[in-house]
Structure 1
Amino acid sequence: MPSTSNTDDDEFGISSSDEADLIALLDAPTHGTKRKASFDEPLPSKRRPPSFSCAVTALTNMFGFKSFQLKQEQVISRILSGQSAAVIFPTGGGKSLCYQIPALVFSELDILEGIRGEKDSGITLVVSPLIALMKDQVDGLLRRGIKAASLDSSRNREEYLKICDQLRNGELQLLYCAPERLNNEGFVGQMRNVRGGIRLLAVDEAHCISEWGHAFRPDYLKIARFVTEIKAERVVCLTATATPRVAEDICKAFNIDKAGLFRTSTYRPNLQLLAESSIKKQELYPRLFHFLNENPGPTIIYVTIQKQTEALADDLRQQGFNAKAFHAGMDAAVKANIQNEFMRRDDLIIVATIAFGMGIDKPNIRNVVHFNIPNSLESYSQEIGRAGRDGKISTCVFYVCGEDLHLREMFARADLPSRKSLCELMKDIFDKNNVNIPVGGEFKTSHYDQEREYDIRPVVLKNIYAQLEIAHGLIRATTPIYTRYSFKPGPNYHATLASDPSPAAKAIKDYSQAARIWTTIDIESASASLRVPRSDIVRKLNDWNESQVLELKNAGVLNVYKVIKPLPRTSAEIEALVDHIYTTMQKREQEALDRTEEMLRLITSKACFSRSLAQHFGDDLPDGKRECGHCTWCLTHVAVVQKVPPPVQFNHSAFRAILKTIPHRDDPRFLARVAFGITSPRVTKLKLSRNPIFGSMADHKFLDLLNAFTRECQK
């Protein structure tokens, strides 16, 4: 069985470092002739090119729709003409058809134009951040007879090798992958040489590209570079949540001109946006129960943390509702069953974290309830957009509670490490060994060890390395490697070993140590002693794994970085880097806090909720209207008042208990995190999350705690 790892760069029990060699696509047929753009602007229906009839046929025959909606036709016309596009349609607005239809049409157009041979029409590559969403889309396409696949961590080795064969033989039309896979050099080489080339690269959730977006992901910044490296013919970027500033970032990243930006109205006239306020959460339960009794139908209730899903679902069941919990920590099979049941039934209430909803295309969701504060207007817009896709009136209720403000601040404050931690990390990255590596050389590091050593959360550490790569151009992430290889010999292992005269086979023979079941091999020692390239030994193991000579297992991930330009050597250079990176991280923390304030202003201002939400995305109500007529403001013209708990007296006894339990005075931010209830690698290492001191001052302001612990650490 394949091993499991904490990286997406190799989820198949196959060495990432030699993926390109394993796939053996480098001698595959070269890309077909690129189609030239035939016009600069999308054509109106009356002037559609004859080839567009293929798109209409695909829409009808494969997807069962009679006509395109919104601006799908203009987008597809532009893509088929050879140009790139950015698509900002609301949730449920049919964004996926904008790349699925072209993927089906390319081969037909090639035949019409006589420019490519059979099976040489290339693929559409879709970059998507969510495995569940990829799986749902691929399953739906396969049911329609469309040749699609995804490279994700749910695939075993056999499935992976089958996908490689399909790519080699020109048998795929669409391939989905996660953005993290773009760090894999083998995958980049594979896509650069895929049969027929990459006709279209689709970037789903494209708002993740923008540092101004609510869900910025550094790996998304690398997609533009990837497009150039694999020579993708055109790009389509898709999102439901992009402000004008974010849309500008997306277009700039992929050189998409203004004519290539397609935005449709975010306003949904059938959605009734309501809000209520309280100081204590307990006051809201009777209101929620009453609302659900008065508004039956399929319902999603969003909460912030996983344990809340279970508790509230249990409360609802006790009130006679058919309710189930859903969160990311549940078993995959359980989640799939709950999702399938929700799709079938019309009386089920799902209490979920934001893990639920992506890819859910249920037309008759009647209610979406936010029982905690959403993390941004973008998240709120996306989540309420799942209601009422059948066009019928649906209700979206937002219960805002003063007690929830702590949760939002906890999430906003969770990512920023102390400046001291960042400084120590930089000294580790740019130690005396690494700074002497020449340009083009590589260094290896364990993210897992650095997270624990410097108390930096995994996603934050990844962001720091991305800044060094993208903002400063010092390094480039490449394919992670495994530090430990072991194998279970098959029936033909010893005969194969004896008949193979290669240096790699000798290395495997001489440096393997057999145990009762598994045999381990010291690849580093074998490579150094016998002067056999490490990649040759790993490739040999992979070859034998493919042919079932042995069953390979690997573990222990090291991240690998290539040096792009001379690394900083002096304390002043490193200090300047720390200043820049820490300032950027502080800005992002403040932006996370600001997004909560924006969310609260939406419902506490004296203005129409629907119009304020539309204006956030550079939109407005139709026909110049100033009010929608059916949100809480429009129905009452009374502003919702944000009720906050009264200020608390500083809890000196809890403060002293924390200082007594934790003797270290090296990091005031760490102490403040413990007091506030924010977990971190160091909290986990010291097993503090179950200690009574953890979160004992959660009702205080975080900055007050930070200042108090800073004074203690300075004594």
Structure 2
Amino acid sequence: MKTSESLDGARSVLRDRFGLSDFKPGQQKVIESLLAGRSAAAVFPTGGGKSLCYQLPSQLFPDTTVVVSPLIALMKDQCDALQARGISAARLDSSLSQEEWRQTMEGIRSGQTKILYVAPERFFNERFRATLETLKISLFAIDEAHCISQWGHNFRPDYLKLAELTKEMEIPLVLALTATATPEVLSDIQNAFEIKDVDAVRTPFYRPNLQLRSNVLPSEQHYPVLLERIRGRERGPTLVYVTVQKAAEEIAEKLSQDGLNATAYHAGMDTADRTRIQQQFLESDDGIVVATIAFGMGIDKANIRYVYHYNPSKSLEAYAQEIGRAGRDGSDSICEMLLVPEDRIVLENFTYGDIPTAGAVRMLFERIAGQSESFFISHYKLSAETDVRMLVLRTLLTYLELDGYLKGTSPRYDSYEFRPKVTSKSILAHFEGEKREFITGILASSVKRKTWFGLPLAVTARRLKTDRARIVKAVDFMAERGWMEVRVSDLVHGYSKLKPIEDPEALADRYYERLQQREESEIGRLGQVLDLATAQVCQARTLSEHFGETLEEDCGRCSACLGEGPLALPVSQAQGIGSSASDAIARIVDEHPDLLSDPRAQARFLCGLSSPKFVSKRLTRDPHYGVCNHVPFARVLEALRQ
């Protein structure tokens, strides 16, 4: 099919299926690349119409479009919106029942459903991989693609592995989508997915209807000024972003007590409550949601008039994404940061809390070096044993893969169970010959418990002289047909060693330096947000330049342009750790010398920064845990080292 003919078809789908008369900027160019058989990247600002770039081609391609999306709520919203247009879309996530899973796969295999949303971590699940390998895929669309860059603001190891996966599975087309890629991050995305410059489409970042404001306040004026802003301006849908869940609840309660229609929203709430609050906000003309960053991904509400950052974002990328939810209807919207000096301490301490001690990293590398040439290991157990947070642990293992020490193999579940819904005789009636013998062998190997049957895969594979992959496919086939319900547990990840780790301590120290570099980078990102907020120059110009766009003139509407700045964020006058904290650390070190012999671990305890072993040993319940959360981590660490 010629590109011109493909584009004619795309315009028909745009009009008939999506009810739109024309493409938004950049959409046509991305769709043209895909229809011409070339992978593409789309860097559009929040609200710029990224989703249409895969949704529309999915209706023209012969096979399935798989969409990688990081949030269940986002997947559900997208599916619901497509269903409302008469376009069948489905999602596979942990919230689905066995029957919902079965119906989803039935729709995909029949061709009735062309779009399948999946979370990135599912691609490293042996059950899902076995299912995926039976599907024909036309397009692999990756949302939040900036997560692939290990020097980006939101690196996720699973995303980096997706690039290798697309090559292994011989995916014909890839579409990488993001709202927040700097030029350097876009280059990383292009290199990972082999996307040519001509097919990397970036649309203008600057939106003149967004008025960027900022204010630096003493802490006692923090809430009163927020209340004054909301009351003093014309009512309209409003988002108030905070850093922690507790703050979301406290600020929403205060606003409600002051007569405003405010609701808290955060990831710690029940799914049903989050769905209800989100729907209420979508339907409201003046609702206020006080939220952590868990709120807003994929929210299609055009008339959000105000976005207040009660606490600052941790990076300019996150800030751009959050303010991008305002004013999608093109009307004026105000995006204002209300800063207090304590904000820097809280956010910097969060960043420092991610990095484990050097000893913990050495222990991790010694465990890996001591494994056999091919091995399976539980990330959860490894995290608990070494006291390295899960995200950092997975990042370090990914570094080992990138540097050629390890190669990740398909993860697997050590525990498989099934509950029959029909008799064995009914199941076997669907098979004959060798296949019937094979299924008979699987059923005969199961061990009866109360209502579930345990299936020892390793034993069954040896008995039937086959590999576990064939058994897993057979079990999932029977589950898809509704003959049994299957549940799995005890996920372990597989690796094979490509070269030996001859000096694990030296390698661990080198990688620890990389973690410290990331830590410094994250602190620098926060500094960029605070620099923007203190309004030395046009804030819209500063933000645009960060994303590779140069404005011809100042915006004329931000705090700097209006003469409300420059502002100054005072340096915290917080004192040292004090004798009470010093005495507490001495006591805790005596009780737990294995956990708190390192000054960094001690500083994390005093600043209230958790770790896997702090939780397992219940140190987070100690009355002195977090007594220095108002003191900069670096200052606490320095005092302890002295």
Confirm or deny a common fold (TM above 0.5): yes
Offset from partner CA, 1:391-417 (integer Å, 9 cap, x none): 111111101111112210122112111
Q: Residue 172 and residue 511 in structure 1: after superposition, are their counterparts in 2 closer, same or farther (change >3 A)?
A: closer
Check conservation: 1:504, 1:536, Cα contact below 8 A. no
Distance in 1 (CA, whole Å) between partners of 2:632 and 2:507 is 30
Partner of 1:23: none
Gaps of 5+ in 2: none
SS at match of 1:358: coil
Distance in 2 (CA, whole Å) between partners of 1:541 and 1:104 is 32
Of 518, 521, 541, the match for 1:591: 521
1:530 Cα deviation (Å)? Answer: 8.3
Offset from partner CA, 1:325-372 (integer Å, 9 cap, x none): 000011111101110000101111000000000111111101000000
Counterpart code for 2:75:
M
Of 87, 90, 101, the match for 2:56: 101
Partner of 2:113: 172
Check conservation: 1:218, 1:466, Cα contact below 8 A. yes
Counterpart code for 2:303:
N
Check conservation: 2:411, 2:491, Cα contact below 8 A. no
Distance in 2 (CA, whole Å) between partners of 1:174 and 1:497 is 33
Counterpart code for 2:491:
V
User: Is 1:207 matched with 2:146?
Assistant: yes
Check conservation: 2:353, 2:609, Cα contact below 8 A. yes
Partner of 1:394: 333
1:166 Cα deviation (Å)? Answer: 3.0
User: Is 1:240 matched with 2:179?
Assistant: yes
Check conservation: 2:43, 2:180, Cα contact below 8 A. yes
1:218 Cα deviation (Å)? Answer: 1.4
Which is further off, 152-161 or 401-410? 152-161
Q: Residue 494 and residue 705 in structure 1: after superposition, are their counterparts in 2 closer, same or farther (change >3 A)?
A: farther
Of 110, 135, 145, the match for 1:194: 135
1:550 Cα deviation (Å)? Answer: 5.0
Of 697, 703, 714, the match for 2:634: 703
Q: Residue 170 and residue 513 in structure 1: after superposition, are their counterparts in 2 closer, same or farther (change >3 A)?
A: closer
Partner of 1:689: 620
SS at match of 1:635: coil
Percent sequence identity over aligned pairs: 40
Distance in 2 (CA, whole Å) between partners of 1:189 and 1:255 is 26
> Residues 322-337 of structure 1: matches in 2 within 5 Å?
322-337=261-276
Q: Residue 639 and residue 181 in structure 1: after superposition, are their counterparts in 2 closer, same or farther (change >3 A)?
A: same
Partner of 2:42: 87
Distance in 2 (CA, whole Å) between partners of 1:560 and 1:263 is 38
User: Is 1:381 matched with 2:381?
Assistant: no
> Residues 72-83 of structure 1: matches in 2 within 5 Å?
72-83=27-38
Counterpart code for 1:696:
V
Distance in 2 (CA, whole Å) between partners of 1:479 and 1:400 is 44
Counterpart code for 1:602:
L
Partner of 2:447: 512
Offset from partner CA, 1:620-670 (integer Å, 9 cap, x none): 22xx21x21111111116301112331314312212112203421533322
Check conservation: 2:619, 2:625, Cα contact below 8 A. yes
Check conservation: 1:242, 1:617, Cα contact below 8 A. yes
Q: Residue 387 and residue 512 in structure 1: after superposition, are their counterparts in 2 closer, same or farther (change >3 A)?
A: same
Q: Residue 406 and residue 172 in structure 1: after superposition, are their counterparts in 2 closer, same or farther (change >3 A)?
A: same
Distance in 2 (CA, whole Å) between partners of 1:528 and 1:52 is 54
Of 600, 622, 625, the match for 2:530: 600
1:576 Cα deviation (Å)? Answer: 3.9
1:599 Cα deviation (Å)? Answer: 0.5
Distance in 2 (CA, whole Å) between partners of 1:193 and 1:537 is 15
Partner of 1:447: 379
1:534 Cα deviation (Å)? Answer: 4.9
Q: Residue 142 and residue 579 in structure 1: after superposition, are their counterparts in 2 closer, same or farther (change >3 A)?
A: same
SS at match of 1:398: strand
Which is further off, 497-506 or 228-237? 497-506
User: Is 1:577 matched with 2:507?
Assistant: yes
Gaps of 5+ in 1: 1-34, 39-47, 107-120
Counterpart code for 1:463:
T
Distance in 1 (CA, whole Å) between partners of 2:380 and 2:281 is 38
1:528 Cα deviation (Å)? Answer: 6.3
Of 570, 577, 599, the match for 1:668: 599
Offset from partner CA, 1:86-122 (integer Å, 9 cap, x none): 211111011111111111233xxxxxxxxxxxxxx11
Counterpart code for 1:172:
T
Check conservation: 1:188, 1:229, Cα contact below 8 A. no
Counterpart code for 1:455:
D
Q: Residue 504 and residue 672 in structure 1: after superposition, are their counterparts in 2 closer, same or farther (change >3 A)?
A: farther
Partner of 1:465: 397
> Residues 602-641 of structure 1: matches in 2 within 5 Å?
602-621=532-551, 624-625=552-553, 627-636=554-563, 638-641=565-568
1:607 Cα deviation (Å)? Answer: 0.4
Count of aligned residue pairs for this structure pair: 633
Partner of 1:16: none
Partner of 2:609: 678
Q: Residue 202 and residue 67 in structure 1: after superposition, are their counterparts in 2 closer, same or farther (change >3 A)?
A: same
Q: Residue 266 and residue 523 in structure 1: after superposition, are their counterparts in 2 closer, same or farther (change >3 A)?
A: closer
Check conservation: 1:182, 1:222, Cα contact below 8 A. no
Counterpart code for 1:631:
C
User: Is 1:284 matched with 2:222?
Assistant: yes
Partner of 1:69: 24
Which is further off, 163-172 or 462-471? 163-172
Counterpart code for 1:628:
C
Partner of 2:408: 476
Distance in 2 (CA, whole Å) between partners of 1:91 and 1:491 is 49
1:508 Cα deviation (Å)? Answer: 5.5
Partner of 2:102: 161
Counterpart code for 1:691:
D
Counterpart code for 1:567:
P
Distance in 1 (CA, whole Å) between partners of 2:194 and 2:21 is 33
Offset from partner CA, 1:302-344 (integer Å, 9 cap, x none): 0000011110000001111000000001111110111000010
Distance in 2 (CA, whole Å) between partners of 1:222 and 1:180 is 10
Which is further off, 594-603 or 170-179? 170-179
SS at match of 1:629: coil
Counterpart code for 1:579:
D
Of 476, 489, 494, the match for 1:555: 489
Distance in 1 (CA, whole Å) between partners of 2:516 and 2:160 is 20
User: Is 1:140 matched with 2:81?
Assistant: yes
Which is further off, 372-381 or 225-234? 225-234
Distance in 2 (CA, whole Å) between partners of 1:636 and 1:584 is 41
SS at match of 2:23: coil
Partner of 1:45: none
Partner of 1:269: 208
Check conservation: 1:401, 1:644, Cα contact below 8 A. no
Partner of 2:232: 294
Check conservation: 2:130, 2:473, Cα contact below 8 A. no
Counterpart code for 2:8:
S
Q: Residue 606 and residue 579 in structure 1: after superposition, are their counterparts in 2 closer, same or farther (change >3 A)?
A: same
Check conservation: 1:523, 1:537, Cα contact below 8 A. yes
Distance in 2 (CA, whole Å) between partners of 1:423 and 1:710 is 20
Distance in 1 (CA, whole Å) between partners of 2:466 and 2:578 is 64
SS at match of 2:59: helix
Distance in 2 (CA, whole Å) between partners of 1:547 and 1:189 is 16
Check conservation: 2:351, 2:519, Cα contact below 8 A. yes
Which is further off, 249-258 or 334-343? 249-258
Q: Residue 232 and residue 525 in structure 1: after superposition, are their counterparts in 2 closer, same or farther (change >3 A)?
A: closer
Distance in 2 (CA, whole Å) between partners of 1:245 and 1:485 is 44
Offset from partner CA, 1:601-622 (integer Å, 9 cap, x none): 112252011111111111122x
Counterpart code for 2:16:
N
Partner of 1:645: 572
User: Is 1:229 matched with 2:168?
Assistant: yes
Q: RMSD in angstroms over aligned alpha carbons?
A: 2.6
SS at match of 2:561: helix
Check conservation: 1:629, 1:635, Cα contact below 8 A. yes
Offset from partner CA, 1:199-258 (integer Å, 9 cap, x none): 222111111111221111111112222222222222221111111111111112222222
